[in-house]
Structure formats: C-alpha cells, structure tokens
Structure 1
Amino acid sequence: MEISALQKERANYQPKLPKALQGAVKVKEGAPTQSVDNQEDIKKLFPNTYGMPLVEFEPADSANNAKMNVGVILSGGQAPGGHNVISGLFDEIKKLNPENKLYGFLMGPGGLVDHNYIEITEENLQAYRNTGGFDMIGSGRTKLEKEDQFEKGLEIIKKLNIKAIVIIGGDDSNTNACILAEYYAAKNYGIQVIGCPKTIDGDLKNDQIETSFGFDTATKTYSELIGNIERDCNSARKYWHFVKLMGRSASHIALECALQTQPNICLISEEIQAKDQTLNDIVEYIADIVAYRAAEGNNFGVVLIPEGLIEFIPAIGRLIQELNDLLAAHGTDYMNLDKDAQRKYILEHLSTENKATFETLPEGVARQLSLDRDPHGNVQVSLIETEKLISEMVATKLDQWKKEGKYKGKFAAQHHFFGYEGRCAAPSNFDADYCYALGSSAAQLIANGKTGYMAIVKNTTAGTDQWKAGGVPITMMMNMERRNGEMKPVIRKALVELDGAPFKSFSTQREKWAKETCYVYPGPIQYWGPSSVCDQTTKTLELEQQK
C-alpha cells in the first residue's frame, strides 16, 4: 500500500495515555447506577447488566497478566480515530500478556455472524496507526438483535477462544452491544461485551461521555472548508452560500462549526423545535438578514444548516412520526403502488392536521418523506436537499418583497453539503489520543471481568496526564423510545441544550455575525507546532467544561 509523507510521519506519533493507564491498573468502583428513565422497563429487559457501578482506573502496584483473546467490530458510519481505538486495544492486551490475540471481524457486526475475520498483528496494524477511515477491517450496519445472530457469533467466538467482543459504534450500535452482553450473561456463556462511543454527530454524550470520538476531527475539517468558503465569499462578494452539515438527530456539528467560523446565519434544529417555528418562519428569518445586508451593500453571506432540520420543524416532525408508523404497518402494500397512487394512499390515511402539512410541502420533499426508511426506521434526511429547498424558498420570498418595494438587492445562491469529507479525515491529536485511551480502557474493562460497559475517558480539557479513564454501564444511558412503531430500549441521544454554554455563547453573538462580516478562517488541522494550535479541543467541549 502506497502511503503519503504525512501518513509516514503520523505513523511515528505515539498517542498519549492518562496516568492511570500508563502502567499497571486497578479498578475503583463507584455506586450502583440506574437508567436515565423508564427504570423498571430497562431493569426488566436487562436483569444481568442493570445497576452495575461506574468504574474508574487507578495506577496499581502489580500488573494483571490476564490471558485473553479479543474480537473487535467497527459498526455504523466512519469516524476519525477508529484505527486508534484498535491500536490502543491491541497494545494494551499485548502489554497484559504477549500471547493475547486480537481478531477483527470484517465489514461490521455482519462479520461476527458470518465468521469473516482476520487476526490483527503488529505488522498489519502499523500501516493504520493514527490514520482516518475504517478500511483496516471495514464497517457495516447489520443490527445485532436476534438470538440466531448471537448463537452464530458464539460459534466463531468459541472456535477462536475469544473472551470478549469490543463494539466500536454510536448509540444504536452500543444499544445492540448491551443486548448482546445481556444475552451472553443470561446464558452464562462467559463472553464479555464492551462498547466504545463513536459518532461524528456528537449526539452520544452525557454526564459520563464528554464527547464521542471523531467529533473533534470532523468539525475541524468542516470548519476549514467553511472558512475557505467564507474567505471566497468575502472576496467575490456576490453569493450566498448555503452549507448543509452532517447531524441528523442533533445540531452539535452545525453549532461547533458556527462557533469556529462565525457565519452570518446558523440554524439550530433544537431551537426551531422549541420555538414551534414553521418552514415559513425560517425562510423569513433568513430573508430578513439577506435584505438587511443587501441594504448595507453586502449581497453575500454564509448559512449553516443541520441535515436533520426538516424533522425538527414541529409540524413536519408530527407528519414524519405518523408516516413512520403508517409505513411500518403497511409498507409492503404501499411500496407496490405507482407514484401517484402512493401520494393518494398517504393523503387518504393521514390525520387532518398532518394531511394539511403534507399538502403544503414542495413535491420533491413530500415524496422523499414518504419513501424507504433507513435500517432504524428513520427518514433518510441526508437525501433531502434542505439547503436547496430553503434557498429556493428564500429567493421566492425576496422576489415577492422586490415587487412590493421592500427589497432592492441581488440574491444568488451556491449550495454545499459537507458529510463524507469529514468522516475519514486523519484524526487530530485530540482524537488520536482520546481513541487510543478508549481502546486501552476497553482492554482493562475486559481484564477486570466487566461486560455491558462502555469505555470512557473524562476530564478531557485538561492535559492527557490528567484524563480519567474507566467505564460506564450501558444500561445507565438507556430509556424506552418508539422505533418502527414499537417501544424499544435505546441509548438516549444528546441534543443541543438551549440553556447550555455552547448555545448561549452562539446566541449572544449571532446578531452581530448576521449584520457584520465577522468570519474566522480556522485553516487545516495542525499535527505539529504550538500546543495552542495542535492540541486545542472543540469550542463545545471548552465551553461545556469551563469550571
């Protein structure tokens, strides 16, 4: 495999570990835990993995030379740093006992079920240290939730004498890790399951998980691109750039990029939902700013839009919920109809309020909302070109104002969607260190007999020496939610908190950013140089952790 000069240099970077993981390790257990909500329901579903204590690692006098083979799975969408979780896991299990082996299951959870795997050795790992991507073993979206999958996986686990499986994934993947841990515990199979928190969206976050890995690198990558667009925008002075950003369930990416780059407008889905705003309210808000800037002679600007925006507009959210239930119950009948018959079918089956909303939507968006769902039963919002929909509606509104003599400017739009550009970037120093520590923590959780836990690293705005490593029972983060028409146990997603420090910082500055041109150009991720540049955390983490 041909590698770049940057990759050669990055291969030599030695990620830094928290003090507690630098030598021999012992476990300090906290108080018993309970789920964030629906305690009785979750306890009933997870009798063997519910109520376990929080775990923190501390330096020990003597090492635990645990003999254990481990399997590792990358699950769901890519996030920068996945290879470093594997590196940390590999190095830690070899440190515990050089005979220990690490097996990578190929192309996600399906690799466990289908018995597709490789042994990860120092030789093949070396090319992937501190690199982006999941290409070392690949990823997939197979959901581990059925007994026959668990039993099929057990066959290869036993054959390879594997003691534990580490699942690196987001909230759904870690929910499935917990279900697998519970099943193996209930059957007394002696197989442990540990999760690691991954998602660039930043929505796998709570009191125990300060940030999910990949968020730091992805938002820095997007912010570089937005900064470049802002500089172009300020140079040409003739376009409004509408930038859609990853983030289906929460607006953390859009908010972080706004804090880094100071665009003229950034929409936050959670605020729109809280204020019960309509699509027209959003369009008028943007058009007002466009008109104000035009009157000042500035016919240009930058707008950031989270990809999940449509679902958060309350009237559309209510419509989607009913469509989800309708398609879950009657999807087969519906999918066999032609386009016109599908629209007629939906209008006949919707409640009066949701029917009215459906009829007001542009045809393309209405059609998209009523098509196939993703594996979790959700609308595939990344396929909806929200940035174009909104800019077209703004253009229509401005044309109307022009006829009424309220607006005299020029409006020309450019559109961008930043998604895949950030998922496989070479991890920042923060993500390289954080992921390595997560992998090391996962190995120690296994060595100390834990199952149904997620590896965690806290105090992440301090120097790496002061980071605190440990584990949290996955059941502690769970509640019951409606999925595909039925109630299921899931890890609660973390949304942008409107009374939280990051949003408050943004909201106090956005009016100035809208009227004036206050762009910041962050430039590319730096791997070498002053610590103030190379080792900075996200603005979100910095503001949330301010003591």
Structure 2
Amino acid sequence: MEISALQKERAAYQPKLPKALQGAVKVKEGAPTKSVDNQEEIKKLFPNTYGMPLIEFVPGENADKKKINIGVILSGGQAPGGHNVISGLFDAVKKLNSENRLYGFLMGPGGLVDHNYVEITAEFLNQYRNTGGFDMIGSGRTKLEEEEQFEKGLKIIRELDINAIVIIGGDDSNTNACVLAEYYAAKKYGVQVIGCPKTIDGDLKNEQIETSFGFDTATKTYSELIGNIERDCNSARKYWHFIKLMGRSASHIALECALETQPNICLISEEIEAKDMTLNQVVENIANVVAYRAKQGNNFGVVLIPEGLIEFIPAIGRLIQELNDLLAAHGADYKDLDKDAQRKYIIAHLSKENAATFETLPEGVARQLSLDRDPHGNVQVSLIETEKLLSDMVGSLLAKWAKEGKFDGKFAAQHHFFGYEGRCAAPSNFDADYCYALGTSAAQLVAAGKTGYMAIVKNTTANANEWKAGGVPITMMMNMEKRNGEMKPVIRKALVELDGKPFKAFAAKRDEWAKNTAYVYPGPIQYWGPTEVCDQTTKTLKLEQD
C-alpha cells in the first residue's frame, strides 16, 4: 500500500498512556451505580448488567499473562482515532500474552452476524497506526437488536475462541452493545461485551465520559476550514458565508468552532429551542446583523449553523415528532402515493397546529421532513440544506427592508456544509493518545472479566501521564426514550448546556463578534512542535474541566 510522507512519519508516533496503564494493572471498584433515569424499567430490562460498580485502573504489581482473544467492531459514522483504539487493544492483548489474538469484524456489526472477519496482525496493523478513517476493517450501521443476530454472532465467536467483543461506536452502537452484553450474560455464554465512546458530534458525554473520541480532530479540521473562509471573506469583503456543520442532535461542533474562530454569527440549536423561537425570528436576527454590518460598510460575514437546527425550532420539532409517529404507524399506506397525494395525506393526518407549520415550509424542506429516514427512523437532517434555506429567507427579508428604506447594503451568499471533511482526518495528538488509552482500557476490562462496560479515560486536560483510565457500566448512562413510536432503552444524548461554561464563554462575546470583524484563523492541525501548539485540547473541554 502506497503511503504519504506524513503517514510514514506519523506511523512512528508512540501514543502516550496514563501511568496506570503503562505496566501491570490492578482493578479498583467503586460504589454500585444506577441509570440516569427510569431506574426500575432499566433494571428490569438489564437484570444481569445493572448496578455494577465504576472501575478505575491503578498500577499493579504482577502482570497477568491472561489468555484472551477479542473481536472488534467499528460501528456507525467514522471518527478520527478509531484505528488507534484498535492499536491500543492489539498492543494490550499481546502484552498480556503473545498468543492472544485480535479479530476485526468487517463493515460493522453486520460482519459479526455474517461471519466476515480478518485477523489483525502486527504487520497488518502497522499500516494504520495514527491514521484517520475506519478503512482498516470498515464500518456499518447494522443494528444488533434481534436474538437471531446474537445467536448467529455466537457461532463465529465460538469458532474463533473469542472471549469478548469490543464495539467502538456512538450512543446507539453502545446501547446495542449493552443489549448484547445482557443477552450473553443472561444465557451464561461467557462472552463479554465492552463499548468505546466514539462520535465527532460530542453528544456522548456525561460525568464519566469527558469527551467522545474524534471530536477534537474534527472540530480542529472544521475550524481550519472556517478560518480559511473567514480570511477569504475578510479579503474579498463581498460575501456572507453560511456554513452548516455536522452534528445531528447537538450543537457541540458549532459551539467549539465558534470559540475557535469567532464568526459573526453562530446559531445554537438548544438556545433556539429554549427560547421557543420561530424560523422567522431566527432569520430576522441574522438579517439585523447583516444590516448593522452593512451600515459600517461591511457587506460580508460568516454564519455557523448546526446540522440539526431545523429539529430544534420548536414548531418544527413538534411537527417532526408527530411525523415520526405518523410514519412509524402508517408508513406503508403513505409510501406508494405520488408527491401531491403524499402531501395531502400528511396534512390530513396531522394535528391542526402541525399541519399549519407543514404548509408554511418551502416544498423541498417539507418533502425532506416527510420522506427519507435514517436507519433509526429519524429525519435525515443532513439532507436538508438549512444553510440555503436561511440565506434565501434572509435575502427575501432584506429585499423587503430595502423597499421600505430600512436597508441599503448589499447581500450575496455563499454556502458550505462541512461534514465528511472532518470524519476521517488524521487524528490530532490528543485523539491519537486518547484513543490508544481507550483501546488499552477496553483490553484491561476484558482481562478483568467485565461485561456491559464502556472504556473511559478521565482527567484529560492534564498531562497524559496523569489521565485516569477505567470503565463505566453502560446501564448507568441509559434512560427510556421514544424511538419509532416505541419506548426503548437508550444512552441519553448530551446536548449543549446553556448554563455550562462553554456556552457562557461564547454568549459573553457573540455581540462583539457580530458587530466587529474579530476572526481567528487557527490553521491546520500540528503534529510536531511546541506542546502548547500540538497537544492542545478543545476549548470546550478546557472550559468544562476548568
């Protein structure tokens, strides 16, 4: 395989490990845990994996030469650092016993069900150390939910003499890991299941998970691109750039990029929902900033928009919730109708308030809300061109104001959507280290005989040597939520907290950024050089851990 000069040099980078994982490891157990909500329901659904203690690894005296084979799965969307989780797993299992084996199931959870796998050897793995992407074994979105899948997976687990499955994924994938762990524990199959917290969206975090891996690299990659656009914007001085950023359910990416680059406007979905703002109010706020800057002779600017914004505008959120229920119950009646008949069907079956909201939406947006769904039954918000919708509506309002003599500036828009650009970037030093430590922790959880746990690494704003590694029971993070019309146990998503330090730091500065051109140009991720440049964490993490 041909590799770049950067990849060649990067392969030699040895990720740093917390002190507790550098030699022999001892398990320190904490108090029993309970789920974040719906305790009785979650306990009933997970009787074998509920209430387990938190685990911290501390330096031990004698290394256990434990014989374990592990199967690893990459699940869901890509995030920088996945290969380093696998590297940490591999090095840790081989360190325990050189005869131990690591198998990668190909193209996600489907590889376990369909028995598609590869044995991960040192030679094979060395091509992928410290690289982005999930191309080592591929990823997929097959949901592990059915007993038939669990039993089919068990056949290949037995054939390869695998002791444990490690699932590297986001909240949905780790929910599936918890269901699988419970099933194998209930059947007394002796197969452990461990999860790892992955998602660039940043919404898989809580008291135990300080950050999900990939968030650091992705936001640094997007911030570089935004900085480049800001510099172009400040050079040409004739365009408003509307930039949509990945992050389906939460605005963590947009908020972090705003803290890094200081754009003129950054919308935070959670704030818009909390203030019960309408789409027209959002548009008017943007138009007011455009008009103010035009008066100063600045007919240019940058607007950051979270991918999931449309769902957080309360009236549209209520509409989507009813649409989800309607299509879950009557999708079969609806799908074969033509476009006009589908529109009429929806309006006829919605409540009066939601039907009125649906009728006011541009036709393309209304169609996207009512048609294509992702595998979890959710609206595919990434397909809705919110950046164009907003700029069109701002342009129309400014044209109206111009006729009324309230606006005499110029408004021309450019549009961008940054998503895939950040998902497979070469991991930053932070993500390279963090992921390697997560993989090592996952291996140690397996060696300790644990199941239904997620590997965690804490104290991440300190020097890597001082990080604390361990495990958290997945059930501790779960609650009951409505999915596809049914109540299901899921890991609670972490949204932007409006009373949290990162949002407050942003809110304190945004009026100044709106009026003035205060852009910051972060530049590309640095891998070599002064530690204050190369090993920086995100501003979000720094503020949260301060």
Q: Please state which band the TM-score falls in when normalised by the shorter chain.
A: over 0.9
Aligned partners of 2:265 and 2:383: how far apart in 1?
22
Aligned partners of 1:356 and 1:333: how far apart in 2?
22
**Alignment partner, residue 142 of structure 2:** 142
Aligned partners of 1:236 and 1:361: how far apart in 2?
33
**Alignment partner, residue 399 of structure 2:** 399
SS in 1 for 2:489: strand
AA of the residue aligned to 2:170: G
**Alignment partner, residue 189 of structure 1:** 189
**Alignment partner, residue 509 of structure 1:** 509
**Is 58-67 or 178-187 further displaced after alignment?**
58-67
Q: Deviations over 1:215-237 (max 9, x none)?
A: 00000000000000000000000
SS in 1 for 2:508: helix
SS in 1 for 2:337: coil
SS in 1 for 2:366: helix
Aligned partners of 2:483 and 2:65: how far apart in 1?
43
Aligned partners of 2:374 and 2:422: how far apart in 1?
21
TM-score (ref. length: structure 2)? 1.00
**Alignment partner, residue 118 of structure 1:** 118
**Alignment partner, residue 152 of structure 1:** 152
Deviation at 1:463, TM superposition (A): 0.1
SS in 1 for 2:517: coil
Q: Deviations over 1:159-191 (max 9, x none)?
A: 000000000000000000000000000000000
Q: Deviations over 1:25-62 (max 9, x none)?
A: 00000000000000000000000000000000000010
SS in 2 for 1:333: helix
**Alignment partner, residue 281 of structure 1:** 281
Deviation at 1:333, TM superposition (A): 1.2
Deviation at 1:308, TM superposition (A): 0.2
SS in 2 for 1:168: strand
The 5-angstrom pairing of residues 387-426 of structure 1 reads: 387-426=387-426
**Alignment partner, residue 443 of structure 1:** 443
Aligned partners of 2:261 and 2:121: how far apart in 1?
41
AA of the residue aligned to 2:341: A
Aligned partners of 1:439 and 1:100: how far apart in 2?
15
Aligned partners of 1:380 and 1:464: how far apart in 2?
38
SS in 1 for 2:521: coil
Aligned partners of 2:291 and 2:4: how far apart in 1?
47
Deviation at 1:65, TM superposition (A): 1.1
Aligned partners of 2:437 and 2:372: how far apart in 1?
39
**Alignment partner, residue 542 of structure 2:** 542
**Alignment partner, residue 103 of structure 1:** 103
**Alignment partner, residue 25 of structure 2:** 25
AA of the residue aligned to 2:437: A
AA of the residue aligned to 2:449: G
Unaligned runs of 5+ in 1: none
What is the Cα-based RMSD across aligned positions, in Å? 0.3
Aligned partners of 1:95 and 1:500: how far apart in 2?
41
The 5-angstrom pairing of residues 76-475 of structure 1 reads: 76-475=76-475
SS in 2 for 1:430: helix
Aligned partners of 1:372 and 1:287: how far apart in 2?
31
SS in 1 for 2:85: helix
Q: Deviations over 1:279-334 (max 9, x none)?
A: 00000000000000000000000000001000000000000000000000011110
SS in 2 for 1:189: coil
Aligned partners of 2:365 and 2:416: how far apart in 1?
18
SS in 2 for 1:438: helix
Aligned partners of 1:332 and 1:164: how far apart in 2?
40
Q: Among the aligned pairs, what percent are the same residue?
A: 85
Large movers: runs of 4+ above 3 Å: none
SS in 1 for 2:427: coil
AA of the residue aligned to 1:6: L
Q: Deviations over 1:420-475 (max 9, x none)?
A: 00000000000000000000000000000100000000000000000000000000
Unaligned runs of 5+ in 2: none
Aligned partners of 1:376 and 1:292: how far apart in 2?
43
Aligned partners of 2:37 and 2:504: how far apart in 1?
27
Deviation at 1:373, TM superposition (A): 1.1
TM-score (ref. length: structure 1)? 1.00
Aligned partners of 1:541 and 1:266: how far apart in 2?
19
Q: Deviations over 1:118-151 (max 9, x none)?
A: 0000000000000000000000000000000000
AA of the residue aligned to 1:448: A
Aligned partners of 2:174 and 2:531: how far apart in 1?
33
AA of the residue aligned to 1:252: H
Q: Deviations over 1:464-495 (max 9, x none)?
A: 00000000000000000000000000000000
**Alignment partner, residue 63 of structure 1:** 63
**Is 60-69 or 491-500 further displaced after alignment?**
60-69
SS in 2 for 1:427: coil
Aligned partners of 1:496 and 1:66: how far apart in 2?
42
Aligned residue pairs total: 546
AA of the residue aligned to 1:446: V
SS in 1 for 2:509: helix
Q: Deviations over 1:395-424 (max 9, x none)?
A: 000000000000000000000000000000
AA of the residue aligned to 1:422: G
AA of the residue aligned to 1:21: L
AA of the residue aligned to 2:448: N
Q: Deviations over 1:512-543 (max 9, x none)?
A: 00000000000000000000000000000000
Aligned partners of 2:315 and 2:293: how far apart in 1?
30
Aligned partners of 1:153 and 1:19: how far apart in 2?
36
Aligned partners of 1:151 and 1:260: how far apart in 2?
47
Aligned partners of 1:347 and 1:65: how far apart in 2?
65
Deviation at 1:74, TM superposition (A): 0.1
Aligned partners of 1:266 and 1:372: how far apart in 2?
27
Aligned partners of 2:468 and 2:172: how far apart in 1?
25
**Alignment partner, residue 51 of structure 1:** 51
SS in 2 for 1:119: strand
Deviation at 1:372, TM superposition (A): 2.4
SS in 2 for 1:162: coil
Q: Deviations over 1:79-100 (max 9, x none)?
A: 0000000000000000000000
AA of the residue aligned to 2:340: D
Q: Deviations over 1:334-363 (max 9, x none)?
A: 000000000000010000010110011111
